[in-house]
Amino acid sequence: MKKPLLPVFLFFITFALSAQYDPKALEILEAMSKKYRTVPSFEASFSYILTNDVEKINEEFKGKMTVKGDKYKLVLPEQEVVNNGTTIWTYLPDAKEVNIDKFDPGSEDLNPSKFYDIYKKGFKYLYLEDKTEGGVLCEVVDLVPEKKDAQYYKVRMNIVKKDKSIQSWTMFDKAGNRYKYLITKFNTALKVDDAFFTFDTSKYPGVEVIDLR
C-alpha cells in the first residue's frame, strides 16, 4: 500500500518555511536590535579579517566606528567613511582624494549605523547553535539574502547569549571571500557632536575633492 504523498510534502514545506524565517532566530535578533536601539551613540573598535581558502588569503586589519543615530564614521587602514545621514564622504589617504555622494538610505550596502537592524528587510534567518567564541558563549544566527543576486550570500552573526550584544559577524561572498568583523572594544559612555560626522576638507590640505552628487 502506497503512503499518501501530501503529508510528506506538507512536512517539507513546513520545514523549509521554519528554516527560512526561524522564530528562535527572530527572537534573538529582536533582543539584539532592542539593545542597540536604546543606545544614543557608541564607539566600537574591531578586527577586520579577510580570508579566502582557495586564494590562500588571510589578512587582518584594525578599525573603529563611531555611531550616533543614522550618522556614522568608519575608520579603516586604507579609507575613512563619514556619513551625516544625508551626505557620505569616502576619504582615501593614499590617493589623497575624497569622494562625496548623496547617502541612499535604501541602499543594500551594509550600513554601520544599522547593522543591528539588517535582518528586518530582505533577509531570511536561521538559528544554528550556541557556540563559544573568545571565551564568550554566543548564539549563532545566519542571515540569507532573499535576492539571489545579492553581493553576499550569507551573513553569520555571533550574538552574546548573556546580554545580546554582537560579538562578531562574518559576510560570505560568492568569490569565496569571508569578511569577519570581531568587536574588541565597545564604549557607550561618550558624547559626540553632529559636526563629528562631517568631513572637513580644510583639515586635509592637498586633498582632491570628487563631488558625485
Beta bridge partners of 182: 47, 168
pTM: 0.79
The domain that contains 44 carries what CATH number? 2.50.20.10
67, 74 Cβ separation under 8 angstroms: no
Q: What would the grid cell of residue 132 be? A: 563559544
pLDDT beneath 50: ranges in the chain? 1-19
Q: What is the pLDDT of residues 44-81, one digit of tens each?
A: 999 989 999 999 999 999 999 999 988 999 999 889 99
Number of domains making up the chain: 1
How much is the pLDDT for 106? 66
**Residue span of the structural domain in which 145 resides:** 5-211
How much is the pLDDT for 198? 95
How many angstroms separate the CA atoms of 128 and 132, rounded? 13
